[in-house]
Amino acid sequence: MKGDRGMFNMITVSNLRFRYDSGSTDVIAGISFQIKKGEIFGFLGPSGAGKSTTQKILTGQLKSYSGSVLVAGAEIRNADRQLYNLLGVAFEFPNLYEKLTALENLKLFGSFYDRKLIDPGKLLGMVNLYDDRNSLVGSYSKGMKMRLNFVRSIMHSPELLFLDEPTSGLDPVNARIIKDIIKGLREKGTTIFLTTHNMNDAESLCDELALIDNGKLIVNGTPADLKLRFGEDKISVTLRREGFRILSEHSLRGIGSDEDFLETLKSGEIETIHSCEASLEDIFIKVTGHGLTGTFSDNSDHA
């Protein structure tokens, strides 16, 4: 599995369009992208952009689309049940049985798969829920349900995992645990489609990003490429001189013969020096003319 990372496309979307029966416009308006095997692909956009709709199409829940969506080589609208053994899905609102314990939930969901399963106790231990394994899920906090829902999605070692806001509602420690598990899955060759508003998650986890707005794909590329492409070509320097803090900026082009910059370097007065890359948030604003409606960091600490 690991060996063929990046060798072929796990998902190929070509000119995808979708309109809800009740709607008068296409909420997905002709998007195309590819996701390579073993890649974490971040799908970003403001509320209403079309992220959930795309995710529902890619997981076979909405079939009346036009264009083509190949998942592991099969057109998803015609895919047979076997394909679902390869998929793991953890959407934002946990879909769990509240009157069963965590362990019972995992055993029940596990019975739906025709695949080797990871031991439920081990899964619960990975996300600090082992001590609560015999408690009813109805008594769980939102953060505990999120963690349970997450391990539920990986119990059959899916080859393609869909995650929707996986760290939303988690405290920083549990958010880090989930992110580390996600990185570990990538190491094993799992392909991951990650929908998020959280720019920190997007930047720290994703190999490839796509920004979507109004059902259209606005821009895609690696986080580093996007930041370079949309960043400003300059260096900012702060220095302390005679008790004052002074900020100066220098164009990166020709920096080697910029006398001011070279003098500053030699002066020994420099406190900080940074290249001015764009943040993902800046890029989004630049390419769409608006932000992600103030939801950049919804890592609220209420697990």
Which residues contribute to the site for ligand ADP (CB under 6 A)? 20, 22-23, 27, 45, 47-53
State the nearest-atom distance from the C-beta of 206 to ligand ADP, in Å: 17
Separation of alpha carbons 177 and 233, rounded Å: 36
Q: Round to whole Å and give the CA distance between 44 and 78.
A: 27
3-class DSSP state of 191: strand
Q: How far apart are the first and last CA of the chain?
A: 34
DSSP classification of residue 277: P
Is residue 102 within 8 Å of residue 124, measured between CB atoms? yes
CB of 144 to ligand ADP, least distance (A): 24
- What is the smallest separation between the CB atom of 28 and ligand ADP, expressed in angstroms? 8
Residue 58 or 123: the one with the smaller Cβ distance to ligand ADP is: 58
Cβ distance to ligand ADP smaller for residue 90 or 124: 90
Helix (H, G, I), strand (E, B) or coil at 220: strand
Structure tokens at 6: 């990046």
Q: Which is nearer to ligand ADP, 9 or 53 (CB)?
A: 53
Q: Which candidate, 17, 28, 16, places its Cα nearest to that of 71?
A: 16
CB atoms within 10 A of CB 65: 21
Q: Please state the closest distance from residue 218 (CB atom) to ligand ADP, in A.
A: 13
Q: Which has the closest alpha carbon to 160: 3, 40, 8, 13? A: 40
Smallest gap from residue 288 Cβ to ligand ADP (A): 13
Residue 27 or 118 having the CB closest to ligand ADP:
27
Q: Nearer to ligand ADP by C-beta: 161 or 239?
A: 161
Residue spans of beta strands (DSSP E) within 45-154: 66-71, 74-75, 87-90
Residue 38 or 50 having the CB closest to ligand ADP: 50
| Kind of pairing between the strands at 66-71 and 74-75 | antiparallel
Residue 17 Rama label (left phi>0; alpha psi -120 to 50; beta)? beta
Q: How far is the CB of 23 from ligand ADP (least distance, A)?
A: 5
**Nearest distance in Å: CB 53, ligand ADP:** 3
User: In this structure, are residues 191 and 160 in contact, taking their beta carbons and an 8 Å threshold?
Assistant: yes
Residue 48: CB minimum distance to ligand ADP, A = 4
Q: For residue 264, give the nearest of 280, 281, 246, 244 by alpha carbon.
A: 246
- Choose between 27 and 287: whose C-beta lies nearer to ligand ADP: 27
User: Is the CB of 126 or the CB of 212 nearer to ligand ADP?
Assistant: 212
Residue 153 near residue 188, CB atoms below 8 Å: no
